[in-house]
Amino acid sequence: MEQTLPTRGLRTGHQLTELGLGTAQFGNLFTETTDDESQRAVRAAAEEGIRYFDTAPHYGLGLSERRLGDALHATTRRGVVISSKVGRLLVDSPDTTHRLDDDGFIVPATKKRVWDFSRDGILRSVEESLARLGTDRLDIAYLHDPDDHWGPASSSGIAALCELRDQGVVGAIGAGMNQAALLAEFVRQTDVDVVMVAGRFTLLDQSALDDLLPVAGARGVGVVAAAVYNSGLLSSTAVDSSATYDYGAAPRAVVERAARIAAVCERHGVELPAAAIQYPLRHPAVASVVTGMRTQEHVRGNVARYRAVIPEALWEELHFTGLAPDPIRTR
């Protein structure tokens, strides 16, 4: 494998490349893909130096995990960090096999998702993920979207993950959500090592700066920033008003703000998506930025954005115009 991208460490000793590959698209999220396309994407990621890969049973009813595991068998496990998630068990669903999944993934609905943050549910989920991935350990296990399940997730869920961490089956434990406030509570009240926050630490939404990032930094908990394009609005150099924002129609005020940010980027010779990828990494509590990459072209493009040279003057202008606070200046 080629030289790795720069890494940042978790308190458990795991080294995450500053750019990670998110594999929801490997599960046919919104668009069908193939095993070969997923393998080419992983091969390109290895060549570009990406060593952190994130998946979940939720993605394509296990298809993403299987495809990622198969693709990684063609590389080396050494130095590779794999994270997956727990909280949604996949249960056989013979009554729905005739139709497609109704959660955004173009796969047959042969299984259904069942929320389960109990000890048995967590142990079963990890065991099944290991089988699909073809590995004997998860480097990181996140409680997946426990927004409406704080009680069991923060008690039996975390306790089961701690048990697996003590056994060496799981390396680091945490939670992943589309909000920052409850993640901050996990950091305060439980023994998590890392959290994944999706869409709440971006050029358009800095709510993670209010609470999560300060408490995570103070407690030595790593933060992985996902959905840094806010599901599409920040993914193109020119802002497309029809692009989605947090998987829905973008409000006019948000589109206008994105366009102003893009104009600042253009003045400084920077593409908007490059600034979107690099922005969260300006905070020292952030260990990695994870972006969804379906094809090898997506991988090459995102790595190029990660490597792009961005002048400090751009961050200064965004900060002092109030368009996006600079994490370095707001600590």
Exposed, middle or buried by CB within 10 Å (0-12, 13-18, 19+), for 189?
Answer: exposed
Scored b (16 or more CB within 10 A) or e, 25-57 reads bbbbbeeebeeebbbbbbbbbbebbbbbbbbbb
Q: From the CB of residue 208, how many other CB atoms can be counted at a distance below 10 Å? A: 28
Backbone conformation region of residue 20, classed left if phi is above 0, alpha if psi is from -120 to 50, else beta: beta
Q: Is 142 among the residues known to form the active site?
A: no
d(CA 100, CA 119): 30
Exposed, middle or buried by CB within 10 Å (0-12, 13-18, 19+), for 238?
Answer: exposed
* DSSP assignment string, 193-209: SEEEEESSSSSS--GGG
Q: Which of 59, 142, 229, 245 is catalytic?
A: 59
According to DSSP, the residues that pair with 9 across neighbouring strands are 15
Which residues carry out catalysis? 59
